[in-house]
Amino acid sequence: MSSGLAVADAPWHARRDAVAGLGAALAVLTGTVAKMARDVALLAQGEVAEAFEPRAEGRGGSSAMAHKRNPTGCQVALSAAVRAPHLAATLISALPGEHERGLGGWQAEAAVLADLFALAGGAAAAMADVAEGLEIDAAAMARNLAAAGVGADTGEAEALARRLLADGED
């Protein structure tokens, strides 16, 4: 039995699903960017040493270990990814507002959305810089493959990389 009520008839402050959806999408975007950051950070560890963030004056150095290159761009994206899901949860928790005069829920959305946009944008910008200047040590990759005893078998990785590189030349 239909009541004849439509969601579209509800006033804007009673319809919070689009705002919550936007916040969730920003959190997912931040997490997706952070996946790349995690991979680069792991590849930059001393025992792997296959990929590194670009060198930049005053960035990523260590006062205790002069040779060290800290992945600071990755740190920006990874720390954003820790915060973003909880901010999205704030928006989702505000969904069940009271009738048409909800108090406290939707009023909290603007600051939370601003934070989510800042986190997603900052993470993406940081990792764009990393991607543009990423340094690859092919010799270290070859050493690590040899040490792993897998020979030249890199599975589908080589074919995928070649296809991506070829697509980028168009």
Contact residues for 113 (Cβ-Cβ < 8 A; gap 6+) = 19, 22, 23, 26, 91
CA–CA–CA angle 40, 42, 43 (5° rounding): 65
Pair 41, 135: CB distance under 8 Å:
no
The Cα angle at residue 33 between residues 158 and 44, in degrees rounded to 5? 60
Kind plus residue range of the DSSP H or E element containing 162: helix 157-168
Nearest CA among 92, 128, 91 for reference residue 109: 91
Q: What angle do CA 75, 81, 82 make, to 5 degrees?
A: 95
Q: Within its chain, how far is the Cα of 126 from the centroid?
A: 10
Q: Which residues are catalytic?
A: 62, 101
